[in-house]
Amino acid sequence: MLADWTNFCRYGMLAASASVIHLSVPVMIRFIVISRLGVAEAGAGFSMALDLLQRPFWVLIAAIHTVNYPEVVGRFEHGTNGEAKQSTARLFDFVICATVVMLGGLIGFLPDAGRIFVPHEILASFLAVAPTVAIFYFLHTHLQATLAIIPHLQKSATRLVVVAACQLGVISVFSTVAVAVGLSPSGVVAGASIATAIVILLDSGPTIRFGAIPRWRLVTAATIAAILIASLSIAPSQPLVWLLGKIALSAIATALIAWWGNFLMLARRD
């Protein structure tokens, strides 16, 4: 029992602290921006986008981890080095491709979904900032969930805390300065996205050294599919047949990526 408590203090509490710090990043952005905009229509649209658009990514990541992460842990702890790399690379394939296609879908169908679910009074401010917020959450999710996989496997909890604290600090400083110089909410979130991307580059060392390389051709194909789906936002949705056509095209692109990635199989044998 003493050993279990020692391990929990060394790893579990620090890992949980890192998660809390990451969760504080959107809260800090909201606080800084809303302090300037207030609770008027622009602030309400921004706040709604910040609330809603993080959830699809986390639901998708949680579902993928539920299926694939136990295999990754098992191969890392009990398998060979090659098996650990293979299972981890497969998880990276699945997570990156699924989230990038989802990002394209969010951007492509935000105007249609917004007209249905967002109050008309704040629709314009919501749509103005929503694509940028979606891109930010795409990067934020990968920093917190994807690049943290190898440190979690290696029990490098201190690194997780340092990375989370760096992201929070950099984004807090940038957002404060951006609001002070009068940038729009989209500009503030775009800056937060750039800052998160920089932290991702600086934090990618353990993943690169581990050598679990995703299939870049597949990732490129998923990115092209995401761009295609996102471009549908400029296509009309009326009459209804146009909207159904956009949905069908997106479904076909998604199915092709899933088929090529062989994501319906529990394990890939190369």
264 — pLDDT class (breaks 50, 70, 90) = low
The residue with greater pLDDT, 40 or 137, is 137
pLDDT tens digits, 29-75: 988 888 876 655 557 788 888 888 988 999 999 999 888 888 899 89
Q: Could you read off the pLDDT of 149-199 as tens digits, one per residue?
A: 999 888 888 899 999 999 999 999 998 898 888 888 889 999 999 999 999
Instruction: Please report which confidence band the pLDDT of residue 20 belongs to, taking 50, 70 and 90 as the band edges.
Output: very high
- Residue for token digits 């394209």? 104
What pLDDT, on a 0 to 100 scale, did the predictor assign at position 51? 87
Q: What are phi and psi of 157, to 5 degrees?
A: -70, -35
**What is the 8-class DSSP label of residue 144?**
I
In this predicted structure, the answer to whether residue 269 has a pLDDT above a threshold of 60 is no
Q: Which long-range contacts (CB under 8 A, 24 or more apart) does 61-70 make?
A: 61/95, 61/99, 61/141, 61/145, 61/146, 64/91, 64/94, 64/95, 64/98, 65/91, 65/145, 67/266, 68/94, 69/149
pTM across the whole model? 0.89
> Tokens representing 260?
């090529």
Distance CA 153, CA 59 (A): 22
pLDDT digits (tens, 9 = 90+) for 84-97: 898 999 999 999 99
CA distance 227 to 241: 22
Q: How far is CA 270 from the centre of its chain?
A: 28
- Looking at every residue in the chain, the average pLDDT score rounds to 87
Q: Which residues 6+ apart lie within 8 Å of 264 measured at CB? A: 258
- Asked if residue 120 lies in contact with residue 114, where contact means CB atoms within 8 angstroms, the answer is no
- What confidence score (pLDDT) does residue 67 get? 85
Whether residue 44 contacts residue 189, with contact meaning beta carbons closer than 8 Å, is answered with no
Residue 110: closest CA among 133, 142, 76, 140: 133
Q: Which amino acid is at 159?
A: R
